[in-house]
Structure 1
Amino acid sequence: MKRLNFLIVMDDIATINYHKDSTLAMMWAIAKRGHQLSYCQIQDLWLDEGRLQVDAQALSVYQDPEHFYELGDITSVPSSQFDVILMRKDPPFDMKFLYALHLLDYAKREGVWVVNDPQSVKDCNEKLFATQFSHLMSPTIVSNKQSHIRSFIAKHKDVIVKPLDGMGGMGIFRLTDTGHNIGATLEMLTELGSLPVMAQKYIPAIKEGDKRVLIVGGKPVDYCLARIPSEGETRGNLAAGGRGVAMPLSQAERAVAEAVAPILLEKGLYFVGLDIIGGLITEINVTSPTCIRQIDEQCGTDIATDFIAFIEHNIDKY
């Protein structure tokens, strides 16, 4: 097996959660399989006469919560030095994130395999991309106009409204046709009608969990993580207090994942998290999907190793 040179672009490694972080699992898998590993943050990417440079640090990782990483000195190197760049910066998908993707396009032009593909991450907003599979979703509209959203609420009676750039359950509201705060909520979310938002018919199966289904190299992982809302809460997101319970994919969930997977593969989206409620897609997460660790711990899988093995088997195509 060829020894590969990986660069991980991520948030400050000192701030990650040792017990839950999926990127850390990927780094352990890279090290375990004998590859070289370097680290940087998005502010360490820069251009010199049209070629991407990286202020990178050699990285060693350990399975020790008191000492799980060591960084070498910062060295400026051309991105072409790396075989693979894993873009694992967490949202928000703001202008800093967008500029980093533009810069990573330069590495791609140099023949470096950037995962997930930066152009596709730019193209595939995690809320809007899901609407390309509208037949696999609960009824959904996207609009900045209160009139359209109010009509949708009147039709479906019970609706979830959320921003297109939200994460971790932030900004998600449940509105009913008998509610008294529809106007104020929509004014806030749409910024007085200037910003489109998504509205979806409420899916009662959220009580059984918002299922995170991982698709690795175009293949669904056999187990998902059901993020079950806490008492009195609509959102299942772990960041919003949801409880994570791993379980086998249902037949319906597998069918949905297998319908989406070929499109992801075609777009160079090799590590993706589908959010599925009641067998229906709500979002397609392409930036830095998580839940590896919880599924591994509860089901005995090794998802990160499967992901790195996929890269090893396909590196010669890039």
Structure 2
Amino acid sequence: MRILFIADPLESFKIYKDSTFAMMEEAASRGHALSFAEPGDISLEGGRLLVDACNLTLTGDKADWYRCDNKLRQPLAAFNAVVMRKDPPFDLEYLYTTQLFSLAEKEGVKVFNSGQALRDFNEKLAILNFPELIAPTLVSCDMARLKAFVRLQQDAILKPLDGMGGSSIFRVTPDDPNLNVILESITHEGARTVMAQRYIPEIRDGDKRILVIDGVPVDYALARIPQGGETRGNLAAGGRGEARPLSARDREIAAAVAPELKRRGILLAGLDVIGSYLTEVNVTSPTCFREIMDQTGLNVAGLFIDALERAVGTA
């Protein structure tokens, strides 16, 4: 099988913890041919969707871990599977890439996750499809409404709709002396829509990442535990990752969300759960494979490549 990975520059990978690298390593171990490109390498010319992709070889050397040879312009349809692993933010360039993917899918190209799913299933707003699973939530750009929500909840989280890794997330209370300036900043003076959620104190026990592959939850979640008085558990914000077996509530949440993921063609999703609440549904480039694999021995990357093979019809 020929697999094209679309991602951030290879030199930016931290392979000791990178989920995309874990996928690549597993696919290569099975004899699949790997190629690599960045989103800007995709083009439409003469009615054909093309990509400037290189042949990717994993060297096994931690310091010099890849070779990217023979970069050629070729049809997207030349690949059995296209795996989109570009990190957010979900900006206009990201949007344009998903639209090109949708055109490619009309030509029979198999993209994971699909272009339409990436467009339609915003990682923050997606939770609104499951109101019974979420904490009190407001989505608005109106600073007065957001301030009233904070006053009602007494303790709230504010976050943009296009970020990742805990960036630009604020915990606020009604008496916070910086509340007005935080609202002005995060909404760009009322011009940008944000999400406000009631603060969930169980965050101290970890913000759990539950991976759902082809509609089936991985048996272990990664609890990302805030450190040093930090509100955020995200690993990128300094959180400590601890693999834990799924709880009964974790499985209940996954079972409620999985059918919608399958319906939308989402092969891989990362559900974020704090306490008993679903807080995000990550579909762009869900992570935490490596941490779970290293701590439990469970081959999460193998589960993903199994699912990819089934989806493409090579299993």
Which deviates more, 259-268 or 105-114?
Answer: 105-114
Q: Partner letter of residue 259 of structure 2?
A: P
| 1:47 corresponding residue in structure 2 | 44
SS in 2 for 1:290: coil
Within the alignment, does 1:268 sit opposite 2:265 as a pair? yes
User: TM-score, length-normalised on structure 2?
Assistant: 0.97
Displacement, 1:168? 1.0
Aligned match for 2:179, one of 165, 174, 182: 182
Structure 2 Cα separation of the partners of residues 14 and 309 of structure 1: 27
Displacement, 1:108? 1.0
Structure 2 Cα separation of the partners of residues 316 and 287 of structure 1: 23
Within the alignment, does 1:214 sit opposite 2:214 as a pair? no
Aligned match for 1:76, one of 61, 70, 73: 73
Within the alignment, does 1:98 sit opposite 2:91 as a pair? no
Displacement, 1:69? 1.3
Aligned match for 2:163, one of 159, 162, 166: 166
Say whether the 8 Å CA contact 1:61–1:68 is kept in structure 2.
yes
For residues 176-230 of structure 1, give each alpha carbon's deviation from its aligned partner in whole angstroms, at most 9, with x where no partner exists.
Answer: 1222221111111111111111110000000000101100111000001111001
> Unaligned 5+ residue runs, structure 1?
none
SS in 1 for 2:130: helix
Aligned match for 1:147, one of 127, 144, 147: 144
Aligned match for 1:127, one of 118, 124, 129: 124
Which deviates more, 65-74 or 239-248?
Answer: 65-74
| 1:298 corresponding residue in structure 2 | 295
User: TM-score, length-normalised on structure 1?
Assistant: 0.96
Q: Partner letter of residue 41 of structure 2?
A: D
| 1:196 corresponding residue in structure 2 | 193
| 2:252 corresponding residue in structure 1 | 255
Structure 1 Cα separation of the partners of residues 151 and 103 of structure 2: 48
> Unaligned 5+ residue runs, structure 2?
none
Matched residue pairs, number?
314
Displacement, 1:34? 1.4
Displacement, 1:107? 1.9
For residues 79-118 of structure 1, give each alpha carbon's deviation from its aligned partner in whole angstroms, at most 9, with x where no partner exists.
Answer: 1111100001111111111111111222211111100011
Structure 2 Cα separation of the partners of residues 310 and 18 of structure 1: 22
Q: Partner letter of residue 22 of structure 2?
A: A
Say whether the 8 Å CA contact 1:51–1:106 is kept in structure 2.
no
Structure 2 Cα separation of the partners of residues 313 and 144 of structure 1: 42
Structure 2 Cα separation of the partners of residues 119 and 106 of structure 1: 10
Paired-residue identity, %:
47
Q: Partner letter of residue 300 of structure 1?
A: G
SS in 2 for 1:34: coil
Within the alignment, does 1:21 sit opposite 2:23 as a pair? no
For residues 26-51 of structure 1, give each alpha carbon's deviation from its aligned partner in whole angstroms, at most 9, with x where no partner exists.
Answer: 11111111111111111110111221
Displacement, 1:250? 0.9
SS in 1 for 2:313: helix
